[in-house]
Amino acid sequence: MKRYALYGEKSRTLLTFMGRVLVHDNKAELEYLTVGAKAVECPSDIPEGQTFPLRLHPNLTTVEWPLRKESFR
């Protein structure tokens, strides 16, 4: 399964939470949820243990997965 990470346009690095790269399995969902960052394929040399699934982020606990755009109106 492909993993997608957020690449910060200003920072020019992969965005992290608690030192782990934020990842998600759906590029379109990731791009829909973010502003100021773009979704890129997560480099394969980043081990699973050094990533943090976006759906577990504390600021997204109320979001239902998979995303439904109707929920964001």
CA gap 70, 2 in Å, rounded: 26
Q: How far is CA 54 from CA 10, 16, 57, in A?
A: 20, 10, 5
45 contacts 52 by C-beta, under 8 angstroms: no
Task: Classify 8 as helix, strand or coil.
Answer: strand
The pLDDT, as a whole number, for residue 56 is 94
At 20-44, the pLDDT tens digits run 999 999 999 898 888 878 999 999 9
Average pLDDT for 56-63: 90
pTM for this one?
0.87
Q: Are 60 and 54 in contact (CB under 8 A)?
A: yes
Mean pLDDT (the chain) is 91
Q: Considering only CA atoms, give the Rg of the chain.
A: 12
